[in-house]
Amino acid sequence: MFKKKNKVEYSHHDGKTFKTSIKITGAKIAPVGIAAEYEYVASKLGVEGIDWELVQQTLIHGENDDFDILEIKTKNGTFKTYHFNISDFYGKY
């Protein structure tokens, strides 16, 4: 018997605000979901440690949803913020 791999999917939002947060679905456990956040940023900005670095990661508990906010510094010195809705996998191990 073969186990199906997690199929992580991202909503089609830009992640610049809570309202336009990127919802991650398909991650059954937190480590998979967290890895998906970093994979998403890498897909947009390149290789972590070369093209960008994490400045800060913040967990926010909303009224109905949980969010991770990643603050990123790019290699050219600009800062970007990505809001992820992590409600589907937060707290699941």
CA distance linking residue 34 with residue 6, whole number of Å: 13
In the structure, how many helices (H) and strands (E) does the chain have?
1, 5
User: What DSSP element (H or E) covers 51?
Assistant: none
Reported as a pLDDT band with limits 50, 70 and 90, residue 93 is confident
**Which of the 8 DSSP states describes residue 19?**
T
Q: What is the pLDDT of residues 6-52, one digit of tens each?
A: 699 999 999 999 999 999 999 999 999 999 999 999 999 999 999 99
Per-residue confidence (pLDDT) for residue 1, from 0 to 100: 46
pLDDT at 2 over 80: no
Tell me the C-alpha distance between 80 and 67, whole Å. Answer: 16
Domain locations in the chain as residue ranges? 15-85
